[in-house]
Amino acid sequence: MIVEVTSAVLATLREEARRAAPEECCGLLLGAGNRIESASPAANVAENRRIHFEIDPLALLAAHKAVRGGGPQVLGYYHSHPTGHPVPSATDCEHSTGDSRVWAIISDSEVAFWRDNANGFAPLDLRVVDQRRDDETYGK
């Protein structure tokens, strides 16, 4: 499966990872269908943010509440590996839920996308697209 992502989202992911280093950044991937239109940064509330991430539960609740109000879907999550590679770590695999959400992992300036499925993570092909206006994307 191919995931579409805007160049603005990729820039946001790289900037968030750079800004958070040497700690891990994290947040939500928002959009519709297989198209990621925005990245919403969230506080990393993990105890040891240098080697783990935990998305602030309040950010997750707010995003899901926004979906019920007609906002963009929560397509997945992102986090960085400041000293690693953009592949799921052993810890990431332990936290896999098989919910088919997209995970973006940022390392240096490289961003890789993965599908959280029943067998762990599967790599996703990426197509970079131009930003659409919100009213076109969400049918308003």
State the greatest distance between any 2 C-alpha atoms of the chain, in Å, as a whole number. 42
Chain centre distance of CA 12: 11
Tens digits of pLDDT across the chain (140 residues): 799 999 999 999 999 999 999 999 999 999 999 999 999 999 999 999 999 999 999 999 999 999 999 999 999 999 999 999 999 999 999 988 989 999 999 998 899 999 999 888 999 999 999 876 544 444 43
Determine if the pTM surpasses 0.85.
yes
Q: Is the dihedral of CA 40, 2, 34, 61 positive or negative?
A: negative
Domains of the chain: 2-125 (3.40.140.10)
State the Cα–Cα distance between residues 116 and 91, nearest whole angstrom: 13
